Amino acid sequence: MMTHFIWLAGLAAAQSSQSILTLSGSIAQVTGADATPTLSLSDFEASTFETGTTYGLSASIGAPNATASKTTSSQNTLTVIAGGSGTTVGRNMTASTTITAQPTNTQPCNNYPEFCTRRYSNITEVCAHNSPFVRKNNAGSNQAYGVTQQLNDGVRMLQGQTHYVNGTLYYCHTSCDLLNAGSVESYFTEVAGWVENHPFDVVTILIGNADYEEKDVNGNPLVTSKNYVDPIEKSGLRQYIYQPPKTAMTLEDWPTLGELIVRGKRIIMFIDYNFDTDAVPYMLWEFYNMWETPYSPTDVNFPCTIGRPEGLSQNKSNSMMYMANHNLNVEVSIAEISLLIPNTVALETTNGVNGTGSLGLMSNSCTEDWGRPPNFLLVDYYNAGPFNGSVFEVAARANNVTYNQKCCGTASFATELPRPSATHFGLIITVAVSLMF
């Protein structure tokens, strides 16, 4: 059987719960060096696409080149997937049936069409440091808006510190007596709801296990990856989490955003300490997969050296993602607790695009030092800066795309798509087809 891999260029329907959308039908092939095929798939009478199920398919091909010809191949499997545009001659075909047209994508992935074809490891995203800690006039607060608004505005990495209290995991800053932002389950439930309604977005969750040094009565770690399984399952988050084929992924191992989106696995989850990938394989150890610049810095120079993990070799660090910690702090003492809190007075400079101590300068410096920009820009009060959306301007420049959206705290940056009806799907896909055995 021949398989046609279809380039996903514009998708106006929800993704299947299955890993791949597989359809059965016929497809017309255009020949000719300048042929640009357009395939329309419509009128699917089903509520979901399921692997191995046959749906009705009609295909029409238009060729702008008058010298191009059209042939039809029947009873093939059509697999809708975002991926490369290479061309290979398939079984029972001749070289003249190879299509070399380049696809043009119009569907944004994480807010930009250009990201659909990029590896997850080749994109710079804004990370909300201590995302759950939103409490006005509280020293432990790190953000002004809740997680739904953070995601609406374009934040795509969520980091937070958890504590285990009386058998329940909470998001707490240093101590739950200082700032308790609620249970991990309730936070995950809110994230899961947003992800469900935004089928073209990939979100990263980084868990800071603040109790990693605590032991149970038997001397074993009190909190490990296993403690998070229950809130993950109950919140509805589990169905969206991507489980990589390896526990330590290199830059080249990560799939593209388009591939993650088509598979419906749109959450990447890391934990900083006490990982257990044998018990929870989808919760990756952060420091097998990325390193960080110095954590909770008070140095306005924001060095791009390796802060965590210690002892990482140059060769290994070059093959991993990395996060730039850019949250300037001041040290204060509250109720005999010494902690670092955001230096809110300096936010206009810290979250700026240019100048000493700015996020933009750090991003540029890291790019020079490492030959590639940071994958994540961790910031406090992402909405603050010299202008509305300055941290997203920095990320856009690092990604070599144009930031043309406004922030923050009002309209959604990522468009929330309507859910399709149970009896009708409409797909209009501009494709480049690669025939493979």
CATH of the domain at 259: 3.20.20.190
Query: Torsions phi, psi of 48, nearest 5?
Result: -145, 160
Identify whether residues 140 and 255 lie together within a single domain. Answer: yes
**31 and 93 inside one domain:** yes
Residues 167 and 103 in one domain: no
* Both tokens assigned to 105: 């994508």
Are residues 277 and 319 part of one domain?
Answer: yes
- Among the listed residues 129, 163, 198, 326, the single catalytic one is 129
Residue 138 confidence (pLDDT):
82
Q: Is residue 173 among the annotated active site residues?
A: yes
Instruction: Decide: residue 193, CB within 10 A, 0-12 exposed, 13-18 middle, 19+ buried.
Output: middle
d(CA 273, CA 210): 8
Please identify which of the residues 4, 163, 173, 326 carries the catalytic annotation. 173
Q: Which residue in 380, 379, 406 sits closest to 393, CA to CA?
A: 406
Note whether 158 and 279 are same-domain residues.
yes
Other C-beta atoms lying within 10 Å of the C-beta of residue 418: 10
Q: Is residue 409 part of a domain?
A: no
The secondary structure element, H or E, covering residue 435 is strand 433-436
SS3 133: coil
Label the pairing between strands 69-80 and 321-325: unpaired
Whether residue 316 is found in the same domain as residue 251: yes
- The total number of structural domains in the chain stands at 2
Q: Per-residue confidence of the chain (437 residues) as pLDDT tens digits? A: 332 333 332 222 333 332 223 333 333 333 344 433 333 333 322 223 333 433 333 333 333 333 333 333 333 333 333 333 322 222 232 333 333 444 466 789 999 999 999 999 999 999 999 999 998 888 779 999 999 999 999 999 999 999 999 999 999 988 898 899 999 999 999 999 999 999 999 999 999 999 999 999 999 999 999 999 999 999 999 999 999 999 999 999 999 999 999 999 999 999 999 999 999 999 999 999 999 999 877 889 999 999 999 999 989 999 999 999 999 998 887 667 777 888 999 999 999 999 999 999 999 999 999 999 999 999 999 999 999 999 999 999 999 999 977 788 864 444 444 333 322 222 222 222 222 22
**Could you tell me if residue 230 is inside a domain?**
yes
Considering the domain boundaries, does residue 408 fall inside one? no
Which pLDDT does position 410 carry in this prediction? 63
Same-domain check for residues 74 and 186: no
Do residues 125 and 74 both lie within one domain? no
Judge if 87 and 191 occupy the same domain.
Answer: no
In a domain, 423, yes or no: yes
Residue in the block written with tokens 């010494």: 338
Are 246 and 331 contained in the same domain? Answer: yes
Strands (DSSP E) contained in 173-266 are: 180-183, 203-209
Assigned domain for 410 exists = no
Specify whether 129 is catalytic. Answer: yes
Contact 186, 132 (CB under 8 A): no
292 and 383 belong to one structural domain: yes
Question: Would residue 114 count as lying in a domain?
Answer: no
For residue 71, what are the domain limits?
Answer: 3-108+419-436
| CA angle centred on 84, ends 78 and 90, rounded to 5° | 50
The verdict on residue 39 lying in a domain is yes
Residue 113 within any structural domain of the chain: no
Sign of the Cα pseudo-torsion (109, 112, 116, 120, in order): negative
269 and 340 together in one domain: yes
